[in-house]
Chains A and B, each alone.
Chain A
Amino acid sequence: MPQCLYCFSEVRSGISFCCQSCELLSKWITVGEPPLKNAPLSAKWQKFNEAALTQAFNLSVCPIYGKYRLYIEGLQCSSCVHLLEDLPRYCADVISARLNFSTCILDVETKPSLALGSLCSRIEQMGYDPVPLKQNSDLEAAQNAENKSDLKRIGVAGALAGNLMLLAVPSYAGLSGPLGQLFQWLTFLVFLPVLFYVGLPFYRKAYASLLVRRINVDMMIAVALWAGFGSSTYALVLGTENLYFDSTAGFIFLILLTRYLLKHHQNSIVNSKNIFTGLFENEIYEVEDAGLLTFDQLKENQLLHLKQNQLLPCDSLLTSVVAEFDVSFLTGEAYPQKKHRNDRIAAGSRLLSASASITTLGAAELSELAVSLGRIALAKPGENKIQTQTDIFSHRLTLAVFATAGLFFLATYSELGFEAFRRCLALITIACPCAIAFAAPLAQNLGLRTAFKEGFFLKSAEVFEKLGKIRRVIFDKTGTLTSSHLKLVQTFPPEISDENKALILGLEKHSLHPVALSLKSSWSGSDAENIPDITETTGQGVSADYLGHHYSLSKASGFDQSVNTIQADFSIDGKKTAYLYFEESILPEAETVINDFYRKNFEVMMLTGDRRGRAIEVSKKIGIRPAFVFADQSSESKMQLVTAQNPCLFVGDGLNDLAALNKAYVSFAIKGPFESTLQVSDVYAPKKDLRAVFEIFRLAKKIQTTVQFNLLFAVLYNSVGGILALSGYINPLMAAVLMPVSSLLLTLHTVWRLK
């Protein structure tokens, strides 16, 4: 296997270095270390040098100095750590740099002379892609604190359980007399922190469930913990040998450890409060008489000068005469929308024209988009909440075990005395549904990991169980079944000369219009003519006078909005020379995926905000039955339709799909331009590949089978164990050993099935 020439880690054949750091460090060994230069900043980093944005990202308590947190993409090996932490050596304005390799977070302190944009640009020169981050949200801080607290409890529980087992050895070996008693009292003392510190989370959860009059597993664990302590203390005072301090502590330690591992595997939850701010936090806006402001500083009646490709932060009125906006992710309209002076433009629209002025109608947080996203964020946690099969089973089993133990105690106390209590304790310990509570989440978490490997993230493992009930799949069209980009499908004449291609590309070189993007992509091998002074007329096209001729590429007159094809005419001196035809590009795998769903007897529907004519054309190409195509849908009507079709899986990508995604029994978001927004969905696929939608059902089926087997096993194990415990064949100590054994068996089975 070939090795990296610098760090000697393995690399693919034909490659000399494993990463850019190794290449750079290797070069610097021979030519010496050059300091990082103040290279001209790209537009991306220029805006981060503006005071408004630099301050927003500066975490330093002293506003003069800079303290920035950057997410660094592309970390590979130790050289990356060395190079990035040596930033102060290569860059005199950097005071310190500290990298966390596991989280890819670089903390940098800078002198006042270095702004954020320049810092990022210099890191970019080193071959990395830095992403500035803001202060951790309250939710993240709370999650970190909880994580630390869990770690401490596990460590303490493990240490105490280990010591308790050692202290119990003399008693098991038959030691009696004053020394034997001393060891027994020591186990009592060492057990107290388990009772009053380690057990706290169980008491809290048990109390919380009591408040809502429900019985859960934590209540059973809390009862087992106190019952174990009570019976052992009673035995200790009486001088008998039935002490269970060690087994109870071991039991609590194992439960805490398993829960921590499960929690560690769970996907991080997106802070719904930041859904809206995430869209705009890296944008700054030029405001008349107020300079440059971030989105949250904007107020009503301010005149904003937008640049091409900027996202509108507030609901506004257009002040310019005319401008074109991309609203596809708000409404599902695939084609750019032309707006005139005083037309209302919704927040979330993207400017396609070179520039435009708008007057804000209110602050960003009052926009319709912010309000609807806020509603979604608030509604998400409670709605769609289902009780999973495992929850219901655990709940019923817990009730049954408590009831059986109580009845047994009442019926046999007069006859058996303290033995009745011991048998009940053994029953509660062995029949504790921990095995179910561990094995089902483990199956689901292994499923999450498989899903992650296959390229999609699940917000919660419960999704697997919900998918088992779904027989109807609804797809959004624009951006989900289609790529939301135009595709050059035909030209007349069929072969465009290289000379004309160069002229057309030259006319379109600065444009971000979908037609321009499509041409640049289709003719990526051709060079563009260097045409100066190009005029882009909003909604019409581009034109220029060049070398004595007038060239133009304009939208065909009489263009029918209801058909799927868009036509552009290329003219030289007013004479039409070429005709170009574009269509919405359908994802190549769409037809196969739809057919797969039909083969498995699923009902497939399509929803779109686009015109019916275009929707039907797309549906015919991919095989969705026209009766199940719903066009001209607003965000609200999509939501109502999806609600009526529940339980269904809704697959969408745009902001206009958010309400529907939120109401769907299971929501599946495909990669779109607003990724942070779409991460609120149950399933999120960062790669635009529709096959993931079908794959997730296959995976869910496999997990369901495994979980059902686990439940069946748990019923049999607990029934047999419970009967033996009540008959007196299993004492609480044996129960405390047998309970983790069943957990282990189920865990091994789950890992074997889902490996």
Chain B
Amino acid sequence: MNTIIFMVAVALLLSFGFVLSYVWAATNEQFDDLETPAHRMLKNDEIKK
């Protein structure tokens, strides 16, 4: 039983953490542009001579 209580507490804490990080992301405009980063990552690195 103790294990279950521990696991439930950990699960709830984890989900609370995810909810908080989601709220942070939504507040800090992380969902405002979902398209450009996908294009940005395709840019070739500078060739170092």
Residues of A within 8 A of B (CB): 77-78, 80-82, 85, 99-103, 148, 151-152, 155-156, 159-160, 162-163, 166-167, 179, 182-183, 186, 190
Q: Contact between B22 and A155 (Cβ–Cβ < 8 Å)?
A: yes
* Interface size classification for chain B: 20 to 34
- Which of A78, A99, A162 meets B42, CB within 8 Å? A78
Query: Taking A179-B4, A186-B8 as contacts, is the C-beta distance between A100 and B23 under 8 angstroms?
Result: no
Are A156's CB and B19's CB within 8 A? yes
Q: Are A102 and B33 in contact (CB-based, < 8 A)? A: yes
B15 contacts A163, CB within 8 Å? yes
Inter-chain contact B15/A102, CB cutoff 8 Å: no
Once the chains bind, are B36 and A101 in contact (CB under 8 Å)?
yes
Give Cα A85–Cα B36 distance, bound, in whole angstroms: 11
A-B contact pairs, 16 of them (CB 8 A): A78-B43, A82-B40, A82-B43, A85-B40, A99-B36, A100-B36, A103-B33, A148-B26, A148-B27, A151-B31, A152-B23, A156-B19, A159-B22, A186-B8, A186-B12, A190-B12
Q: Known contacts A78-B42, A78-B43, A151-B31; is A102 also within 8 Å of B23 by CB? A: no
Please determine whether B19 and A159 come into contact, CB atoms closer than 8 angstroms: yes
Q: In the complex, are the beta carbons of A81 and B36 less than 8 A apart?
A: yes
* Nearest neighbor of A144 in chain B, beta-carbon distance: B32
Q: Is the interface of B mostly helix, strand, loop or mixed?
A: helix
Chain B, 20-42, CB within 8 A of any chain A CB = 22-23, 26-27, 29, 31-36, 39-40, 42
Tell me the complex Cα distance, A229–B5, Å.
25
Contact of A155 among B1, B11, B19, B33 (CB under 8 A): B19
Contacts of A167 in B (CB 8 A): 8
Interface centre among B22, B23, B27, B39 (most CB of A within 10 A): B39
Q: How far is the CA of A594 from the CA of B43 in the complex (A)?
A: 54
The interface residues of chain B lying within 8 Å CB-to-CB of A162 are 15
Residues of A within 8 A of B43 (CB): 78, 81-82
Instruction: Report Cα–Cα, A81/B26, bound state, in Å.
Output: 24
Q: Which residues of A contact B40 (CB under 8 A)?
A: 78, 81-82, 85
- Please indicate the chain B residues that have their CB under 8 angstroms from the CB of A102 in the complex: 33-36
Q: What B residues does A103 contact at CB under 8 A? A: 33
Chain A residue at minimal CB-CB distance from B41: A78
A-B residue pair count with CB separations less than 8 angstroms: 63
Main secondary structure of the interface of A (DSSP, over half): helix
CB of A416, distance to nearest CB on chain B (Å): 36
CA distance in complex: A727, B47 (Å): 76
Bound Cα distance from A81 to B38, whole angstroms: 10
Max count, chain B CB within 10 A of own CB: residue among A77, A81, A102, A163: A81
What separation, in Å, do the CA atoms of A101 and B32 have in the docked complex? 11
**Known contacts A102-B33, A152-B23, A155-B19: A163-B39 contact under CB 8 Å:** no
CB distance from A154 to the nearest CB of B (A): 9
Known pairs A78-B42, A152-B23, A167-B8 / 17 extra A-B pairs, C-beta < 8 Å: A78-B39, A78-B40, A81-B36, A81-B39, A81-B43, A85-B40, A100-B32, A102-B36, A148-B26, A148-B27, A151-B26, A152-B22, A152-B27, A159-B15, A163-B12, A179-B1, A182-B5
- Residues on A with beta carbons closer than 8 Å to the beta carbon of B35: 100-102
**Chain A neighbourhood of B5, CB < 8 A:** 182
A85 to B32, CA, bound (A): 18
Residues on A with C-beta less than 8 A from B31 are 151
Q: How far is the CA of A190 from the CA of B4 in the complex (A)?
A: 17
**Residues from chain B with Cβ under 8 Å of A190 in the complex:** 12
Pairs of residues from A and B, 7 with the lowest C-beta to C-beta distance, nearest first: A78-B39, A81-B39, A101-B36, A102-B35, A101-B35, A155-B22, A100-B33
CA distance A155 to B39 in the complex (A): 26
- Say whether B26 contacts A101, CB under 8 Å: no
Q: How far is the CA of A162 from the CA of B15 in the complex (A)?
A: 10
Determine the distance from Cα of A77 to Cα of B4 in the docked complex, in whole angstroms.
51
Instruction: Select from chain B the residue with minimum beta-carbon distance to A186.
Output: B8
Please, which residues of chain B bring their CB within 8 A of the CB of A85? 40
Neighbouring B residues of A159 by C-beta, 8 Å: 15, 18-19, 22
Query: Which of chain A's residues has its CB closest to B9's CB?
Result: A186
CB-nearest residue of chain A relative to B44?
A82
Residues of A within 8 A of B29 (CB): 148
Which residues of chain B are within 8 angstroms of A148 by Cβ–Cβ distance? 26-27, 29
The distance in angstroms between the C-alpha atoms of A326 and B40, with both chains bound, is 47
Q: Within the complex, what minimum Cβ distance (angstroms) separates B42 from chain A? A: 5
- The interface centre, meaning the residue of B23, B36, B42 with most chain A CB atoms within 10 A of its CB, is B36
Contacts of A152 in B (CB 8 A): 22-23, 26-27
CA of A160 to CA of B43, assembled, Å:
39
Residue on B with the closest CB to A81? Answer: B39
Nearest to A182 among chain B residues (CB) is B5
B-side contacts of A101, CB under 8 Å: 33, 35-36, 39
CA distance A78 to B42 in the complex (A): 7
Q: What are the residues of chain A within 8 A of B12 when measuring CB–CB?
A: 163, 186, 190
* A182 CA / B42 CA spacing, docked (Å): 51
Complex Cα gap A608–B11 (Å): 71
Min CB gap B41→A, angstroms:
9
User: Measured between alpha carbons, how far is A423 from B5 in the docked complex, in Å?
Assistant: 35
Q: Which residue of B lies closest to A166 (CB)?
A: B11
Q: Which residue of A lies closest to B25 (CB)?
A: A155
| Complex: chain B residue closest to A162, CB-CB | B15
Question: How far does the Cβ of B10 sit from chain A's closest Cβ, in whole Å?
Answer: 13
A271 to B39, CA, bound (A): 32
- Nearest to B31 among chain A residues (CB) is A151
Docked Cα-Cα span, A21 to B36, in Å, equals 16
B23, A155: Cβ atoms closer than 8 Å: yes
Give A101 to B35 CA distance when docked, in angstroms. Answer: 6
* Bound form: Cα–Cα A160–B22 in Å: 13
Identity of the chain B residue whose Cβ is nearest the Cβ of A152 in the assembled complex? B26
In the assembled complex, the CB of A152 is this many whole angstroms from the nearest CB of chain B, namely 5
Chain B residues with CB under 8 A of A156: 19, 22-23
Report how far A570 CA is from B24 CA in the complex, Å.
Answer: 73
